[in-house]
Chain A
Amino acid sequence: MTLVIKGGRLLCPERGTVEEGDVLCRDGLIEAVGPGVAAGAPAGAEVFDARGLLVVPGLIDMHVHLRDPGLEYKEDIVSGTRAAAAGGFTTVACMPNTSPVVDHAAMVSYIVGRARQVGVVNVLPIGAVTKGLAGKELAEIGDMSQAGIVGISDDGQPVWNGELMRTALQYSSMYGIPVIAHSEDRHLAEEGQMHYGAWSAVLGLRGIPAVAEAAMIARDCMLVELTGGRLHVAHVSTELSLSVIAWARARGIAVTCEVTPHHLTLTDEEVARTGYDTSTKVNPPLRGPADVEAMRKGLREGFIEAIGSDHAPHSRDDKDVEYNFAANGVIGLETTVPVLLTEIVGKGHADLVTVVRAMTLGPARILGLERKGRLAAGMDADLAILDLDHPWRIDPAAFKSKSRNTPFAGWEVRGLAAATVVAGRVVWRDGQICV
């Protein structure tokens, strides 16, 4: 099976270049990239006319909650991977806080098998650090690793016990996979509804201070120094956290981090502006303007290596309640590309190459995906074909996701995924899933 992407502008995140050219895909792999390679395509090859469009390696969202199994009323592998394809994502790494928890190999196999059967994009499971996410005993990390996990995480909560985190870092280092930390001091964050600051005081909501995140990151970085494991900090959200990571890196500690689109674009004032709309309720919370600025700078300078949407689907009932009772989380797969193109690239906070790199090469390196994240011969034929100019309005009713919990509803944006290619097959095109 051969697919030719013809006449697009090709963005190479590795070299940082944007050049006219074609991409030739055969049997699921990229065979050739560059000007004129379309000429070498066999007769009868499928041709995609990419004139005026930007061709980038398939986007990778390393932080997604697919809610399958057990919470299918929020999302499942079918709807979640369709949402991913619609957003330009060809690979998603899914968090283990399902029901039951992904804490042993059979659960990993279920996700891998189910995704292969009904999924539209690649699904890479992340296993739990501890059995049942209970924070007591290590999950079967070795077994899960052989079944295909790309990392371990108790996301949703921190690994509260320092000794257990130490063991997890040691044990996972045997398999070369990162421990993905949801960094939060539970006592400092207890009953917290939003960022601790002037707005939490005004709104009378209990605040979660920046130190609740940064303190745990500091502990975990020091544990990396002790154990030699690999730490990835999920959804970093405060300037203080970035300072701690900078300190750790200066000591030679291996730590990577990711930021969400909402922490790059929204502040805690959004809770007030929307009159306590629960679409602003997320953990870690939307932070202050200085934090958002620090996230943008961290992304711009490549200090933050990855953008992960923390796509966290919740049903309307989970959110249509009083603020304190609402579930934490927003969805992101279908809004990340337009929001980042409009608010980050469009407003000059970071350039296009840097943003694309943080959604391709960055996460591929963190997760050890050697055949993904680059636009080069021999790579998996996963591509996102972006229209950078298309103006539209975000309408949750049109989402492929089962859930609608987004703070970006109604936003006027520019840019979208015109087509998505997974393993050499066009799975999304002209606003339609085509598999």
Chain B
Amino acid sequence: MLLGTRDILSLREMSRDDMALILDTAESLREIIYRPIKKVPTLRGKTVVTFFHEASTRTRTSFELAAKYMSADTVSLSASTSALVKGESLKDTALTLEAMGSDCIIMRHGVSGSCHYLARMVDAPVINAGDGMHEHPTQGLLDMFTIRRHKGSLEGLRVVLVGDSLHSRVARSNIWGLSKFGAEVSLAGPATLLPEGMGAIGVKSFARVEDALPGADVVMVLRLQRERQGKGLLPSLREYARLYCINGRRLALAKPDALLMHPGPMNRGIEIGTDVADGPQSLITEQVTNGVAVRMAILYLLLGGASE
């Protein structure tokens, strides 16, 4: 095994060495995406299952392309097509997938910890494609990869995550991943959307986004789930946009060469302004490309190494 872990469940539990290996491997695999014929035989004969309980076209497509570029067969199950709607439990579906010979299960699920649960049940490696409010480790890795490509190193960088970090799995993965490489992570957002106890792991929290941005090397805007307003955590989307939307005026508070990122899909005009989303500092489309490279690296390291 090339990685020290069998499953990709969280960046909190992943070693810095494993993360570095994934990022370095992604660097060497990235060029495949730009080839006229995007196919290497590395994972021929392997079957990768994507099992999504929540809709997410972009993450699922990214994983499937990553698998296909390396010649793996892909099977996709979603909550609407799977047996789950007929009342079959996650446990039974998982055991069925395993019995059918899946070599890797990539799961997205609305409940935090579900990938840990799945990993205990099946022998095949499990990749967490987002579990509840917990983590989205491949997103964290692709964000780190993207920053590293532009800044050379993560060490000492000041990264500000803006928005709903309380409910954000992207935020949690980035916090752990970036911190382990020596970046200084801050959170900015309304007090009702900031998680508890982040100071203990060296993460600063700011209720005024203007206080967080000065000196930032990276501004990572989180997607605002519109239902947060319905739960009473926000008075209105209008007020949120007025106070927290990252627009040209606010981005100017960061360093002049600050990178702007967003995991997508964006709510333009709510958490991010179109002026900056489409502007020169934005890496948002590059994040998508890099996502494929990072996922290729993970599949390669989990499935390729063993058989060769």
Contact = CB atoms under 8 A, between A and B. Distances in A.
Interface of A: 193, 196-198, 200-207, 275-276, 320-325
B196 A200 contact: yes
A321 B89 contact: yes
Given A275-B120, A321-B90, A203 B195 contact: no
B200 interface: yes
A322 B196 contact: no
Interface string B114-147: 1011011000000000011111000000000000
Nearest to B166: A201
A207 B196 contact: yes
Contact of B197 (A193, A201, A323): A201
Nearest to A324: B111
Q: Tell me the dominant secondary structure on chain A's binding face.
A: loop
A186 to B, nearest CB: 15
A321 B133 CA distance: 17
B262 interface: no
A79 B178 CA distance: 52
Contacts of A321: 89-91, 117
B133 A204 contact: yes
A198 B135 contact: no
Q: What 4 A-B pairs are tightest by C-beta distance, nearest first?
A: A276-B113, A198-B197, A204-B133, A204-B134
B197 A276 contact: no
Contacts of B196: 196-198, 200-201, 207
A204 B112 contact: yes
B133 to A, nearest CB: 3
Contacts of B91: 320-321
Nearest to B9: A275
B30 interface: no
Nearest to A317: B89
Contact of A322 (B114, B166, B198): B114
Interface in B55-94: 89-91
A324 B131 CA distance: 12
B12 A323 contact: no
A323 B133 CA distance: 13
A198 B111 contact: no
B112 A205 contact: yes
Given A204-B172, A321-B91, A322-B90, A275 B200 contact: no
Contacts of B108: none
B109 interface: yes
Contact of A203 (B90, B109, B113, B120): B113
Contacts of B197: 197-198, 201-202
Nearest to B89: A321
A205 B133 contact: yes
Nearest to B198: A201
B64 to A, nearest CB: 24
A45 B152 CA distance: 87
Given A197-B197, A320-B91, A323-B112, A276 B133 contact: no
Contacts of A325: 111
A201 B89 contact: no
Given A197-B196, A276-B113, A321-B89, 5 more contacts: A203-B134, A205-B134, A320-B91, A322-B90, A324-B112
Contacts of A196: 196
Nearest to B116: A275
Nearest to B165: A201
Nearest to B199: A198
A193 B134 CA distance: 13
Most buried by B among A197, A205, A207: A205
Nearest to A276: B113
B89 A276 contact: no
A321 B198 CA distance: 29
Contacts of A205: 112-113, 132-134
A204 B117 contact: no
A275 B13 CA distance: 10
Contacts of A203: 112-113, 134
A201 B91 CA distance: 26
B169 interface: yes
